[in-house]
Structures are given as C-alpha cells and as structure tokens.
C-alpha cells in the first residue's frame, strides 16, 4: 500500500473535523495532493470518520480515475481536483458542513472583515451561487469564487478551504467557522464595524512575521 503518511493524515484530520465541530456524521470530505505523482488522496464516500481505515482512503488521478482502493471516493472529488489542476500552491482541500458557516451559506451572504483573522482567509468570505453537490458545476463555481482567497462558502451547503498542506487547509476551515460565528453573534446585537482595506493590509503584512523563525539547517 502506497502513500502511508498521506493516508494517515486523511484519517486523522477526518476525525479532527468531527472533534472540532466542523461537520457531523459522514458529511464533508478532505484530500491531499501529491504533485510528483500527480495523484490525490481523498476520503471515501459515506464512511464514518472514526471507522475509516488507511486502506479506505482512495487514490485518484486528477481526471477522476481511481488508481488505488476498493471504496467509492467522495462524490465531491471534482471540487478538489479543480484546484490541484489549476493552482500549483494548493496541496490540500477541506470541505465541511460547520454549523455557523452553513447557516451563513444558507443566507447566501458574503462575510465582511469584521475581525482581523479574515486576513488569513482573504479580503472577505464570499459565497457562491447554488450548484448541486457532487457536480462539475459546483467545482467550477467554487474555483471562480475562490479567486486569490483561501476559503469560501458554498451556497446552501457548507464551507470550502484550501491550503499548502492539510494542516493549513484545516486551519482555514476553522477560521471560516469562527468568522461566521462572530458575524452572526455580532449582528444579533448591532451592526458589526468592518475593518478598512488599509487596516486589513496592515494585518496581512504583520501575519508574514507571525510564528517562530525557521533556522537554516547546515
């Protein structure tokens, strides 16, 4: 069995989606792209995340052909492959049905930058037009609306996050849910005060120096 490390991450992060309240049951899906092999590993369709085994993870090419595995892949595989095919910076995609994000998606609203953490997602959190799940149309619409951002809402559906690795994509998914929760709660009290473009640009610049400095290995 190939791609053991990637399989482990799909299984582990699938459990994280449940533990982080980003989805329920078997909803949502996640994938990892291996560019040197031009394959993606994606969660199987309809299997409980806590019952998913390494061998259940499906290996596919970007044309939708199953290369390894006897399980049916997520019906949303095109929602993943379109980003791997067109954006070389994307190595992981996470799709989830988190409560607050899905509530906002059902309202079909764009979430403005009411909190500085939006800079991790993009200029704002945009929502797509509605397209039925598991279709080429929803994949194309998601890619169009994503633009240069890292996360979007899928109308009447849920959230979608992309990243340089699965940890980054999962972080974006959590931040999307946080932004939607803040918007709903703040709006229930009054009108949220939106950060300006200059204020958001300053945050984005500051984010570049966030975290520990990586030392060069000799």
Residues known to be catalytic: 76
In sequence order, what are the residues at sequence separation of 6 or more whose Cβ sits closer than 8 angstroms to the Cβ of residue 45? 26, 71, 72, 73, 74, 75
> 57 near 73, Cβ under 8 Å?
no
Q: How far apart are CA 31 and CA 20, in angstroms?
A: 17
Helix axis angle, 136-146 relative to 77-86, nearest 10°? 40
- DSSP letters spanning 34-52: ETTTTEEEEPBTT--TTT-
Report which DSSP code applies to 117. G
Report which DSSP code applies to 127. B
- DSSP letters spanning 56-84: GSEEEETTS-EEE-SSPBPTTHHHHHHHH
| Number of Cβ atoms within 10 Å of the Cβ of 167 | 13
């Amino acid at each position: 069995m190939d791609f053991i490390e990637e399989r482990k991450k799909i299984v582990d992060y699938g459990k994280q989606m449940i533990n982080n309240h980003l989805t329920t049951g078997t909803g949502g899906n996640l994938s990892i792209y291996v560019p040197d092999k031009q394959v993606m590993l994606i969660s199987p369709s309809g299997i409980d995340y806590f019952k998913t085994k390494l061998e259940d993870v499906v290996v596919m090419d970007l044309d939708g052909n199953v290369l390894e595995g006897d399980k049916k892949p997520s019906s949303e595989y095109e929602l993943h492959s379109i980003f791997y095919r067109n954006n070389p910076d994307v190595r992981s995609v996470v799709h989830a049905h988190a409560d607050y994000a899905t509530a906002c998606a059902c309202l079909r609203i764009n979430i403005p930058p009411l909190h500085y953490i939006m800079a991790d997602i993009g200029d704002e959190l945009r929502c797509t037009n509605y397209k039925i799940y598991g279709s080429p149309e929803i994949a194309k619409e998601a890619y169009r609306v994503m633009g240069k951002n890292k996360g979007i809402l899928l109308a009447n559906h849920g959230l979608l996050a992309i990243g340089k690795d699965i940890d980054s994509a999962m972080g974006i998914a959590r931040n999307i849910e946080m932004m939607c929760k803040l918007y709903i709660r703040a709006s229930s009290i009054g009108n949220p005060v939106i950060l300006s473009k200059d204020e958001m640009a300053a945050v984005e610049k500051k984010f570049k120096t966030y975290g520990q400095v990586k030392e060069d290995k000799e």
